[in-house]
Amino acid sequence: MQRQRRQYMPLRKYQRRNLQQRILNQTLWVMPSENNLMITKAQEEAQIEIQDIQLEAGMPKATSNKNLCKKTQDDQKFLVIPTKGIEYIHGAATRMTVCIDNSQYPLIIDSGAHCSIVASNYMDHHFPNWEKRLFPAKEKNFKSSSGKMKSIGTIIKEIIIPHRIGNIRLNPELVVLEDSHIQRILLGTDCQRMYGIDIYNSKNRNIAIGTNKENKFSLDIHQISTHDALEDLLNEFREGQFSTTLTIKQKLSLLKILRKNGPPFSIGKEPLGKIRGHDIELYLDGERPYPPILRRPPCPAGLETRSEIEKHINELLDMDVIRKIGHNEILKITTPFLITWHDGNSRLSGELRALNNYTKADRNPITTIPHALDKLEKAKHIARMDFMKGFHQNGVKQNSMKLIRIIFYMGIHEYTRIPFGIKNAPANFQRTMDTIFQEEILEGWMVVYIDDIIIYSETWEDHLQYIDRVLSKCTPINLKSSLKKCNFFQQEFLALGHKVSGFILAIDQNKVAEVLQKQVPKNIKEMQSLLGFASYYRNHIKNVYHITSSVYKLCSKDVVFEITKERRNEY
C-alpha cells in the first residue's frame, strides 16, 4: 500500500531536540566526493527525511513555485536600499593576477561560463608553440552572447594562485577558441566544480577553494580593476609604440584619450578612412582626342606575376580603393600596371610617366624637411602619427576617375582614391593636411609633412591636450592613422629619415649603412642617387659642397663619366 505523503511544517524547539536525538541514534557514514564535499547518507530503514536533515544542517532548502506570488505581505524583507542612479557602479568581476610559466597574467572567474576558455590569438601572443600541446575537443562550436565561436582544441595549463600562506596550483583544461577576442584566461564552472571554488560577494569580496578555510583569501577589487583597466587599454592599443618611462597614471591618461578618439585609428585589418570634402581633381594639358601614348595595352605577365597582381588587386578592391569598369563604358586613357620586387616583397607599380607628363602641375608648397625638424630640437615631449596609406584616404572627383584607369590581364579598373605615383598626389595631400590642421600649425606645436605629423610640447599636460585636439579633428572627416607607425612619448624615434629626440637630431644610421654597403657608382644615375643622399643630410655633413664639387662636375652634360682617384676619395 502506497504510503501517504507527509506534510512538513516549521519545527519547534522540542521537535528539533527530538530530531537531533533520532539522527544520533541512526548509523550514518560519510562519503568523500571528488570535489572534497562531505555527503551524509542514512541507512535505508531510517525514517528520517532528507529535507529535515538539510534544515538542521543549515543547508539550502528546495524551493517551490507553488503559490509564489500569493500572500507576499508576510515575506521577509531586507532593509538595505540601493543608492539611486549609482549603485550599479559598485559591481565588479572576480578577477585576479596569476602566475603561468613564471610570468604574471590576468584571470577572471566567470560563474556564468560552463567551460574554461582562452583565445587562440592570446595564446599566440603569450605562449609560443602552444599548438604542440593541444588536445582535440569533442565540441566544435560554442555559443556566447555575441554569437557562435569555433574551438580549435583543449590545452592544460598549470595556474598558480598567490596566497600569503602558500600558493595554490591548479591544472584546468582550457578550450582554445579561434575567433574570440577575450584578452585573458577565463575559468568557467567546470573548473569551479572540480576544485570547489566558491565566490562570496560580501563587502570584503573573497573566494574559497576546497574545504580548507586557510585557503580563503580576499581580493582587492579596486586594485584589480585599475590593473585590468590598464591591461585592457594596452591590449586594445598594443600595436602602438609607447615610452617605457611613462608611469601607470600617465599611460592611463594617454590611453583614455586614444580610446575616446578611437575611430581615427586603423587597427588590424580595419578598412581605410576616406577624407570627406577634400577630393582631388586632375587636369590634362592639351585637348581631345588624347594622344595614343595615354591609351596603352596591358604588360605581359607570367604565372608568378599574375598571382601577385591578383593578390594586390583583391586587396585594393576590399579597401574600396579601385572599382571594376563595366563593359559598356567608353575608354579614353588606360595605364598599364606591373609588379616590381623590393627586398623579396612585391609591389604594384603603374607606368604613370606618360600620364604625369600631360598632367597640369599643382603648385601647392610642401614643408621642407630641415625647416620641420629644426623645431623639434628643444621639445621635451614628442609624438608622431602616420596616416595609413595616406594617398589612398583621399578621394578623386567623379570626372577625374576616368583619367586614372589601370589595365592588366584581369581587365580594367579605375581608382576611386588617389594612387601612389600620380603627379599631384603629394601637393594635394599637403594642402588637405594644411587646411584641416591650419589652426594647430599656426599655434606652433605641430609639424605636417605630407602624411606625417609631429606633435611637440614642453609640458605633459599640454601634450595630452594637443593629442586630444588632433584626434578629435580626425574623427569628423574620417581620417585614420596607422597605429603601428605611431610613436607616443618615445625618448627617440625615426621620422623623415632622421633620429629625433628632445636633445638631438641625427641621421638615421640605417640609411648610412645602406650607402656604405653600395659599390662605387658606375654611371651617372647611381652617382646622382648618392649626391641626393648627401644633399638631404647636408646639415649633418661639414663642407659637403666643397667635398662633392668634382663629383658634381662628373654629372654635367658634356663631361665623360670617369672615376678618377680624386673623385674616388671624395666618394
Q: In one letter, which amino acid is 228? A: D
Q: Distance between CA atoms of 263 and 252, rounded to whole angstroms?
A: 18
pLDDT of residue 299: 78
Residue 29 reports pLDDT greater than 50: no
Q: Distance between CA atoms of 550 and 470, rounded to whole angstroms?
A: 47
End-to-end CA distance of the chain: 115
pLDDT of residue 24: 44
Specify whether the CB–CB gap between 440 and 454 falls below 8 A. Answer: no
Q: What is the mean pLDDT of residues 56-81?
A: 57
Residue 546 reports pLDDT greater than 70: no
Q: What is the mean pLDDT of residues 423-448?
A: 87
Closest CA to 104 of 228, 256, 240: 228
| DSSP per-residue string spanning 116-176 | -EEEHHHHHHHSTTGGGG-B--S--EEEETTEEEEEEEEEE--EEE--SS--EEE--EEEE
pLDDT of residue 445: 87
Tallying the residues shown for the chain, one arrives at 571
**Per-residue pLDDT band at 291 (split at 50, 70, 90):** confident
Residue 367 reports pLDDT greater than 50: yes
Lowest mean pLDDT among 192-196, 262-266, 448-452, 508-512: 508-512
Q: Distance between CA atoms of 552 and 176, rounded to whole angstroms?
A: 64
Helices 221-236 and 248-260: angle between axes, nearest 10 degrees: 60
User: 295: which DSSP letter?
Assistant: B
pLDDT of residue 532: 67
pLDDT of residue 241: 72
Q: Which backbone phi and psi does 336 adopt, to 5 degrees?
A: -75, 145
| DSSP per-residue string spanning 29-49 | EEEE-TTS-EEEEE-TT----
Give the torsion through C-alpha atoms of 66, 67, 69, 71, to 10 deg: -150
Give the torsion through C-alpha atoms of 73, 74, 79, 83, to 10 deg: -30
Strand pairing of 381-386 and 452-457?
antiparallel
Q: What is the mean pLDDT of residues 523-528?
A: 70
Specify whether the CB–CB gap between 337 and 413 falls below 8 A. Answer: no
Residue 207: partners with Cβ closer than 8 Å, 6 or more residues away: 94, 109, 197, 198, 199, 200, 216, 217, 219
Whose grid coordinates read 572599382?
A: 323
Spell 534-571 as b/e; 16+ CB within 10 A means b. bebbeeeeeeeeeebeebeebeeeeeeeeeeeebeeee
| Whole-number average pLDDT of the chain | 71
Specify whether the CB–CB gap between 336 and 298 falls below 8 A. Answer: yes
Q: What is the mean pLDDT of residues 47-62?
A: 50
pLDDT of residue 209: 72
Span 153-177, pLDDT tens digits: 898 988 888 766 667 788 899 998 8
Which one is predicted more confidently, 307 or 287?
307
| DSSP per-residue string spanning 65-105 | -TTTTSSGGGS------PPTTTGGGG---EEEEEEETTEEE
Q: What is the mean pLDDT of residues 414-431?
A: 85
Residue 312 reports pLDDT greater than 70: yes
Span 182-207, pLDDT tens digits: 778 888 888 888 887 877 776 666 67
Q: Distance between CA atoms of 161 and 100, rounded to whole angstroms?
A: 9
Residue 530: partners with Cβ closer than 8 Å, 6 or more residues away: 515, 518, 521, 551, 571
Span 97-156, pLDDT tens digits: 888 888 888 888 888 888 898 988 888 888 888 888 888 887 767 776 656 778 888 989
pTM tops 0.75, yes or no? no
Q: Distance between CA atoms of 254 and 238, rounded to whole angstroms?
A: 13
| DSSP per-residue string spanning 308-333 | HHHHHHHHHHHTTSEEEPPTTS--S-
pLDDT of residue 60: 54
Q: In one letter, which amino acid is 540? A: H
**Per-residue pLDDT band at 90 (split at 50, 70, 90):** low
How far is the CA of 87 from the CAs of 58, 69, 79, 311, 473, in angstroms?
31, 27, 15, 54, 36
Q: What is the mean pLDDT of residues 378-403?
A: 82
In DSSP terms, 175 is beta-bridged to 117, 154
Specify whether the CB–CB gap between 115 and 188 falls below 8 A. Answer: yes
Q: Which backbone phi and psi does 545 adopt, to 5 degrees?
A: -75, -30
Q: What is the mean pLDDT of residues 339-346?
A: 73
**Three-class SS state of 501:** strand
pLDDT of residue 511: 61
Q: What does the radius of gyration of the chain's CA atoms come to, in whole angstroms?
A: 36
Span 268-287, pLDDT tens digits: 555 677 888 888 888 887 66
Residue 23 reports pLDDT greater than 50: no
